[in-house]
Structure 1
Amino acid sequence: MSEQKRPESQQFAALVLAADRTGKDPITRHTGAACKAFAPVAGVPMVIRVLDTLAACESINRIILCGPPESLLQHCPELQQRIACGQVTWLSNLDSPSRSADRGLSIIPDDIPVLITTADHALLTPAIIQQFIAASLAATADATVGTVTEQAIVAAFPGVKRTIIRLRDGGFRGCNLYAFRSRGRALVRFWQQAEDLRKKPLKLVARVLGFKTVLSYFFGWLTLRQGVAAVSEKSGVVIQVIVLDDARAGIDVDKVEDLQLAESLLSRQRH
């Protein structure tokens, strides 16, 4: 990343976003869990899977969980235990993912690099995180964003439908993995501005990408590098995309079908 010290052993703080976006979440309804983050995946609450994966990473020395609301914590004794022993710092979430992220960042010193992920990343592994962190430290950027290729997703999970962004140089899927140095934190505030404009699509497009970039995308001309460069220019943050090897990095648990896939994969790992 772009600031002067980039030792491979540099320690990150991890921020996990764990608030439900809606009371009608399909995973919560399907499992009967108190909230999506507590939904069991192969018998283990998904947020616990994420927290324990982060705890197993040598590059992570602090874990902050933003959400779910304090009133729900009693429904997950495993989480309460990790909070009580100091393994996890809990914060109440705010009314949007970007505001929750900004709140989490506010308690982390500016000179500490930060990894942000989500509580529904049930298939996250230490190896995925370590690859992302190593590549982020080597990157000449203020912020990095994880992605996997459509080719990797199709090869690993044939027949599984995922949302893919198709560009001139291939298809890509986000991984809900982000890393920031101090200057990169401005990207979270830019994200907040985008959320505030979500009901004004024309202003949103102009603010986040610019109409030229959007037209280029619709005509099939836009490359990944050009798209990232457009957001970097609009946000004032130098961003670099990290393409990850493991297709599981592109699987989050948003739908019942995702839950079934995750449980199937975890079951195979046990045998």
Structure 2
Amino acid sequence: MSTPSTAAFDTGVKARHRALWVSGDYPAVADVIAALGERLVEATAIGSGDRVLDVAAGAGNVAVPAARTGAHVVASDLTPELLETGRTRHPDLGIIWRTADAEDLPFDDDSFDVVTSCVGVMFTPDHLRSARELVRVSRPGGRIGLINWTPAGFIGRLFAVMKPYAPPLPPGTQPGIRWGDPDYIATLFGDKADLESHAESLTVSAFADGAAFRDFFKAAYGPTVTAYRRIADDAEQVAALDAAMAGLADEAIVDGTMEWEYLITTATAR
């Protein structure tokens, strides 16, 4: 399987990326999936004294439970507005909130015992460059932990539903959902780390029906907000996306809950 070539993306692409995640209310979405952060802390055995970097941290879904173990945590993200939410919510945990590009992390080689990213780094434009950065800042023998949505899971299918309505990806960019394929993620890291990956599922009970899910994501989730903005002047397309999103969620809700599949990857840096 081929990997994307490393390329420098211009500031316009990065500005667009930041704007996507500022739109809506991503911290509200992160609250729905908060258990994923705790799961990644558990999977990487983060504990007191560990030097931890959470990449594409948002408002701190991994950084916060990691800090509560007594670890020394840096939360980095391209979007300072999300970091400010985390800083405001959790002022007493000693987390360092640092604006940083996952493709060009401002940290020395071998700086951290544990490097994590929870449904974050998967959305960077240059997958290969991001993977190399995760390894570079990990000390030899350090742990890397990732959670990414799978293509076949609910969020992967949501992206497939939104694709016809969403803006096209910039040239050279790969779909983020590819990080949920264990074969693909293995090609990204190559011989730089020893990887183990397997699929798990997050149980979500936040939505009574498909319409409730659609309305929440339509208002809060950046990629969905962006898709709707693109078609805002076409009532027929808006209605079609409304129906598709609600229908997808209605199919997924069973006895009041949904199962959102993700790939969890743990690695040891070489």
TM-score range, shorter chain: 0.3 to 0.5
* TM-score of the pair, normalised by structure 2: 0.35
